[in-house]
Amino acid sequence: MTEVHRLDLDLEGRRTTMLVGAGLLAQAGDLLDAEQLRSDGTRMHLVADRGVGDAVVVHHAPVLEAAIRGGQVVGTTTLEATESAKAMPGVERVWDDLMAAGVDRRGLLVVIGGGIVCDLAGFAAATWMRGIDLVLVPTTLLSMVDASLGGKTGVNRPREDGSLLKNLVGAFWPARLVLADTDTLSTLGDREFRSGLAECLKHGLIEGEQTLAALAADLPAVVGRDPEVLPRFVARSVGVKAGIVARDFRESGDRALLNLGHTFAHAIESRVEWGLLHGEAVGIGLVAAAAASVRAGMADPSLVTRVRGLVAGAGLPVSLPAAAGDESVQAALRAAMRLDKKVESGRLRLVLLRGPGQVEVSVVADPSVVDAGWDAVTPR
């Protein structure tokens, strides 16, 4: 049996416990009780991610529900896991189901699925009766190493041209318990699995050479879904984020470093017609951020080659689709960046690198820095 890795965080007085290991799903009821998250009067509502091929609904949600039922699961909401569906109508659907099930302020919302559903349902939990306890059971690599930990919840807002503004509406609401059962990754498609590796590479770049080397060394076994290596790999990556979030819960300082590559990535994701997954956009965004760092005079040009190699080695794209070469699309990408949450008083704040472990937030006044990032990932 693989080791269970435990992380405990205190985020502004709200305790979050994250467990990473194999076989946790079937133990969920005992784990809820061990963390004192339910009593005889607790009404639990389950939100499940339809996911690709209904894998969560078919394979994982029934195991979870059987483990936690005990007469306390009063209803289930099933949500579509797409960026377009990550919007207020989905939140309202969860609210309506909570109301119909009679879930009060002592209730518990249990969410199983990927990052989109964790974000959306987390926002519903944060706002239902001004906040009810939340348990997240991430079933994708991306949600395990990123979306499930740190308390950020939210939904996208559509623009008139059909593009999306990522996570523009949201709240900070940490889960009380996160159960990352690495066995659930067995039903994840290769593309979705690789998508999660982008965040792991980002964590390695933020933390430094030692962590980046350890992640890179485990990468072949991880790509092969080695059940002995996966829990350690996930826990190591999550540990980087946990350390930063514990220091800066509301992103007033160091937490902004976790946006490495994301300002570019969110603009890329606004082009919903490209169909890129979040991790794919982040991988491209990491390459763009490295190129912008070079143009800003912060890094040696070899950094771009190194980051591009790491992203490609994870099986992720390193450039945009061919359509991105169109001048109107380029203009739209830059416009989307200006609407990002990381713009303050009209000034773009980019996370740039001097090298692994040397990451900082920079206010970018020179447009050529942003242009260099886009040029590095745009097909010619």
DSSP state letters, 195-217: HHHHHHHHHHHHH-HHHHHHHHH
Active site residue 259: yes
Catalytic residue chosen out of the listed positions 83, 192, 199, 280? 199
DSSP class of residue 4 equals P
Q: Rg for the chain (alpha carbons), in Å?
A: 20
Q: How many CA atoms lie within 13 A of 76 on its CB side?
A: 14
Nearest Cα neighbor of 359 from 250, 159, 207, 243 is 207
Kindly name the residue from 60, 194, 207, 259 that is annotated as catalytic: 259
Spatial distance between the Cα atoms of 343 and 165, rounded to a whole number of angstroms: 13
Q: Of 45, 266, 295, 308, which is the active-site residue?
A: 266
Set 236, 278, 295, 308: catalytic member: 278
**Whether 199 is catalytic:** yes
Catalytic residue among 65, 83, 251, 269: 251
The one catalytic residue among 130, 160, 344, 380: 130
Catalytic-role residue among 86, 176, 203, 255: 255
Q: In the annotation, is 241 catalytic? A: yes
Residue 189: CB atoms within 10 A of its CB come to 13
Q: Which of 45, 86, 203, 241 is catalytic?
A: 241
Spatial distance between the Cα atoms of 165 and 83, rounded to a whole number of angstroms: 10
Known active-site residue 278: yes
State the first-to-last Cα distance of the chain, in angstroms, to the nearest integer.
Answer: 50
Q: Which of 194, 262, 295, 308 is catalytic?
A: 262
Compute CA 175 distance to the chain's CA centroid, rounded to the nearest angstrom.
Answer: 14
Strands 14-21 and 152-158: unpaired
CA distances from 369 to 202, 283, 363 (A): 20, 18, 11
The answer to whether 166 is a known catalytic residue is no
Residue 262 a catalytic site member = yes
The answer to whether 74 and 102 are in contact (CB under 8 A) is: yes
Q: Positive or negative CA dihedral for 347, 83, 353, 336? A: negative
Catalytic residue among 43, 50, 152, 166: 152
Among the listed residues 242, 232, 177, the one whose alpha carbon sits nearest the alpha carbon of residue 27 = 177
What DSSP assignment string belongs to 149-172? SS-EEEEEEE-TTS-EEEEEEEEE
Residue 255 designated active-site: yes
Orientation angle between helical segments 230-247 and 209-223, nearest 10 degrees:
140
Catalytic residues: 130, 152, 199, 241, 251, 255, 259, 262, 266, 278
